[in-house]
Amino acid sequence: MVCRGTVESSGAAAATAVASMLKAELGTTPRTDETPGLIRIEADVPDDLSETAHTRLLAALTSADVRFGHDLTGGNKKSVFWVELDRREP
């Protein structure tokens, strides 16, 4: 599922809110990568993530103006949840 939207160049506040939500639901520390046009936030997904926490996370992100997904990365197939926020010039 993909939700698209944009945030103003001051999207740092929106990125901080998303990172805080990921930390609260996943219990891991998110990583943020910022470029002039995009903010990407990634957080490791714990193996014991409850279905309730997963559902809350998806519901919150579905209602936000973001793109998000869930990837398996690396040789050990680490589970990573990611969120992207577009920036635009004011």
Report CA 81 to chain centroid distance, whole Å: 6
φ and ψ of 89, to 5 deg = -70, 140
pLDDT in tens, 32-47: 999 888 999 999 999 8
User: Is 0.75 surpassed by the pTM of this model?
Assistant: yes
Q: Give the H or E element holding residue 5.
A: none
Confidence of residue 9 (pLDDT cuts 50, 70, 90): very low
What percentage of the chain exceeds 90 in pLDDT? 36
DSSP bridge partners of 69: 82
Residues in the chain: 90
CB contact set of 69 (below 8 Å; sequence gap of 6+)? 2, 81, 82
Determine contact, residues 90/9, Cβ cutoff 8 Å.
yes
Mean pLDDT, range 26-30, rounded to an integer: 93
First to last CA, the chain: 28
CATH superfamily, domain 6-88, is Histidine kinase-like ATPase, C-terminal domain (3.30.565.10)
